[in-house]
Amino acid sequence: MAAITKKREWVIALQWISGHVNKQADKLAKLGRVENQPVLPLSYGPVKSMISSYCKDRASARHKVQADRNKWESLLQKDKRIPGNLSRAERVACFCLITGHDLLQKHLHRIGIVDSPKCHLCNMGDMDGHHLLTCIDLEDLHQDADQLRGRVKLYWAARGEMA
Ligand SMILES: [Zn+2]
Protein backbone atom coordinates (compact mmCIF):
# COMPACT_ATOMS: atom_id res chain seq x y z
CA MET A 1 0.00 0.00 0.00
CA ALA A 2 2.80 2.40 0.89
CA ALA A 3 4.50 1.68 -2.42
CA ILE A 4 1.32 2.51 -4.30
CA THR A 5 0.79 5.82 -2.53
CA LYS A 6 4.35 6.86 -3.29
CA LYS A 7 3.72 6.60 -7.03
CA ARG A 8 0.33 8.24 -7.12
CA GLU A 9 -1.38 11.01 -5.29
CA TRP A 10 -4.57 9.87 -3.71
CA VAL A 11 -7.41 11.98 -2.49
CA ILE A 12 -8.94 10.32 0.52
CA ALA A 13 -12.35 11.43 1.66
CA LEU A 14 -13.46 10.38 5.10
CA GLN A 15 -17.20 10.07 5.40
CA TRP A 16 -19.02 9.95 8.68
CA ILE A 17 -22.27 8.03 8.72
CA SER A 18 -24.42 9.52 11.41
CA GLY A 19 -26.17 7.34 13.88
CA HIS A 20 -27.82 7.46 17.23
CA VAL A 21 -24.87 6.30 19.30
CA ASN A 22 -22.47 9.24 19.29
CA LYS A 23 -24.29 12.57 19.08
CA GLN A 24 -21.08 14.54 19.72
CA ALA A 25 -19.42 12.89 16.70
CA ASP A 26 -22.51 13.63 14.57
CA LYS A 27 -22.39 17.28 15.60
CA LEU A 28 -18.68 17.56 14.75
CA ALA A 29 -19.18 15.79 11.41
CA LYS A 30 -21.90 18.27 10.44
CA LEU A 31 -19.66 21.16 11.46
CA GLY A 32 -16.79 19.72 9.40
CA ARG A 33 -19.07 19.44 6.35
CA VAL A 34 -19.64 23.18 6.13
CA GLU A 35 -16.11 24.29 6.95
CA ASN A 36 -13.23 24.35 4.49
CA GLN A 37 -10.99 21.37 4.97
CA PRO A 38 -7.21 21.75 4.81
CA VAL A 39 -5.36 19.78 2.20
CA LEU A 40 -2.51 18.15 4.05
CA PRO A 41 0.43 16.64 2.18
CA LEU A 42 0.58 13.50 4.27
CA SER A 43 1.34 10.04 3.01
CA TYR A 44 -0.16 6.78 4.16
CA GLY A 45 2.67 5.70 6.50
CA PRO A 46 2.84 8.78 8.74
CA VAL A 47 -0.96 9.05 8.94
CA LYS A 48 -1.23 5.37 9.90
CA SER A 49 1.47 5.88 12.52
CA MET A 50 -0.26 8.98 13.95
CA ILE A 51 -3.62 7.21 14.19
CA SER A 52 -2.04 4.11 15.74
CA SER A 53 -0.13 6.18 18.30
CA TYR A 54 -3.24 8.19 19.16
CA CYS A 55 -5.31 5.01 19.67
CA LYS A 56 -2.62 3.40 21.85
CA ASP A 57 -2.30 6.52 24.00
CA ARG A 58 -6.07 6.73 24.49
CA ALA A 59 -6.33 3.01 25.34
CA SER A 60 -3.44 3.29 27.78
CA ALA A 61 -5.01 6.28 29.52
CA ARG A 62 -8.37 4.49 29.73
CA HIS A 63 -6.72 1.36 31.17
CA LYS A 64 -4.94 3.41 33.84
CA VAL A 65 -8.21 4.97 34.97
CA GLN A 66 -10.00 1.60 35.00
CA ALA A 67 -7.18 -0.13 36.90
CA ASP A 68 -6.71 2.57 39.52
CA ARG A 69 -6.62 0.89 42.95
CA ASN A 70 -7.70 -2.47 41.52
CA LYS A 71 -5.85 -5.73 42.00
CA TRP A 72 -4.69 -5.75 38.40
CA GLU A 73 -3.16 -2.25 38.53
CA SER A 74 0.29 -3.86 38.64
CA LEU A 75 -0.26 -5.35 35.18
CA LEU A 76 0.14 -1.84 33.72
CA GLN A 77 3.52 -1.27 35.37
CA LYS A 78 6.37 -2.47 33.19
CA ASP A 79 8.51 -3.71 36.09
CA LYS A 80 5.64 -5.69 37.62
CA ARG A 81 4.22 -7.29 34.50
CA ILE A 82 4.03 -11.05 34.09
CA PRO A 83 7.38 -12.15 32.65
CA GLY A 84 7.20 -13.07 28.98
CA ASN A 85 9.57 -16.04 29.38
CA LEU A 86 7.01 -18.10 31.32
CA SER A 87 5.00 -20.87 29.73
CA ARG A 88 1.38 -20.23 28.85
CA ALA A 89 0.15 -22.21 31.88
CA GLU A 90 2.44 -20.20 34.16
CA ARG A 91 1.27 -16.88 32.69
CA VAL A 92 -2.37 -17.94 33.05
CA ALA A 93 -1.80 -18.77 36.71
CA CYS A 94 -0.08 -15.44 37.32
CA PHE A 95 -2.88 -13.54 35.63
CA CYS A 96 -5.54 -15.41 37.61
CA LEU A 97 -3.77 -14.81 40.92
CA ILE A 98 -3.15 -11.11 40.21
CA THR A 99 -6.70 -10.36 39.11
CA GLY A 100 -8.48 -12.60 41.62
CA HIS A 101 -10.36 -14.31 38.77
CA ASP A 102 -8.62 -17.48 39.80
CA LEU A 103 -11.35 -20.16 39.80
CA LEU A 104 -10.51 -20.96 43.41
CA GLN A 105 -13.34 -21.46 45.93
CA LYS A 106 -13.58 -17.82 47.05
CA HIS A 107 -13.96 -16.55 43.49
CA LEU A 108 -16.35 -19.35 42.53
CA HIS A 109 -18.45 -18.51 45.60
CA ARG A 110 -18.43 -14.79 44.73
CA ILE A 111 -19.85 -15.49 41.26
CA GLY A 112 -22.44 -17.94 42.61
CA ILE A 113 -21.05 -21.24 41.34
CA VAL A 114 -20.31 -22.90 44.70
CA ASP A 115 -22.02 -22.61 48.09
CA SER A 116 -18.96 -21.89 50.21
CA PRO A 117 -15.68 -19.98 49.84
CA LYS A 118 -13.99 -22.43 52.26
CA CYS A 119 -10.92 -24.32 51.16
CA HIS A 120 -11.81 -27.91 50.23
CA LEU A 121 -8.35 -29.08 51.14
CA CYS A 122 -7.99 -27.92 54.75
CA ASN A 123 -11.38 -26.38 55.64
CA MET A 124 -9.52 -23.63 57.51
CA GLY A 125 -10.05 -20.50 55.46
CA ASP A 126 -11.46 -18.93 52.34
CA MET A 127 -9.60 -20.38 49.40
CA ASP A 128 -7.92 -17.64 47.38
CA GLY A 129 -4.41 -16.94 46.17
CA HIS A 130 -3.26 -15.77 49.61
CA HIS A 131 -4.69 -18.82 51.35
CA LEU A 132 -2.63 -21.14 49.14
CA LEU A 133 0.51 -19.77 50.84
CA THR A 134 -0.68 -21.08 54.21
CA CYS A 135 -2.91 -24.03 53.29
CA ILE A 136 -1.63 -27.00 55.27
CA ASP A 137 -2.69 -29.44 52.56
CA LEU A 138 -0.25 -27.78 50.17
CA GLU A 139 2.54 -27.56 52.75
CA ASP A 140 4.99 -29.63 50.70
CA LEU A 141 4.90 -26.94 47.99
CA HIS A 142 5.43 -23.96 50.32
CA GLN A 143 9.25 -24.00 50.16
CA ASP A 144 9.25 -22.24 46.75
CA ALA A 145 6.19 -20.07 47.40
CA ASP A 146 8.26 -16.89 47.72
CA GLN A 147 9.15 -17.20 44.04
CA LEU A 148 6.84 -16.73 41.11
CA ARG A 149 7.16 -20.28 39.82
CA GLY A 150 6.52 -21.60 43.32
CA ARG A 151 3.22 -19.70 43.53
CA VAL A 152 2.31 -21.01 40.07
CA LYS A 153 2.92 -24.59 41.28
CA LEU A 154 0.73 -23.95 44.33
CA TYR A 155 -2.04 -22.57 42.14
CA TRP A 156 -2.07 -25.50 39.71
CA ALA A 157 -1.79 -28.03 42.57
CA ALA A 158 -4.81 -26.46 44.26
CA ARG A 159 -6.75 -26.39 40.99
CA GLY A 160 -5.82 -30.02 40.41
CA GLU A 161 -7.14 -30.98 43.83
CA MET A 162 -10.41 -29.17 43.14
CA ALA A 163 -11.11 -31.17 39.97
ZN1 LIG B 1 -6.56 -24.76 52.55
Residue 65's pLDDT is: 92
Ligand 1 geometric centre to CA of 108 (Å): 15
The dihedrals phi and psi of 133, each to the nearest 5 degrees, come to: -70, -15
The more confident residue out of 16 and 141 is 141
Return the number of other C-beta atoms located less than 10 Å from residue 37's C-beta.
9
Distance between Cα 96 and ligand 1 center (Å): 18
Which residue type occupies 105? Q
Predicted TM-score (pTM) of the model is 0.63
Position 7 confidence tier, pLDDT thresholds 50, 70, 90: low
Give mean pLDDT, residues 90-102.
Answer: 93
pLDDT at residue 3 is higher than 60: no
Find the 60 Cα to ligand 1 centroid distance in Å.
Answer: 38
Lowest pLDDT segment from 56-60, 87-91, 131-135, 143-147 = 143-147
So what's the pLDDT on residue 8?
Answer: 63
User: Which range among 19-33, 40-54, 105-119 shows the weakest confidence by mean pLDDT?
Assistant: 19-33
Asked if the model's pLDDT at residue 10 lies above 80, the reply is no
Output the CA torsion sign for 19, 22, 23, 27.
negative
Report how far ligand 1's centroid is from the alpha carbon of 147 (Å). Answer: 19
Question: pLDDT class for 5, splitting at 50, 70, 90?
Answer: very low
Question: By C-alpha distance, which of 19, 59, 154, 162 is closest to 103?
Answer: 162
Mean pLDDT calculated for residue range 14-36: 81
* pLDDT grade for 88, boundaries at 50, 70 and 90: very high
User: Ligand 1 centroid to 89 CA: how many Å?
Assistant: 22
**Enclosing H/E stretch for 32:** helix 23-34
107 vs 34, which has greater pLDDT?
107
Ligand 1: centre distance to CA 154 (Å): 11
CA-CA distance, 127 to 109, in Å (whole number)?
A: 10
Who has greater pLDDT, 79 or 18?
79
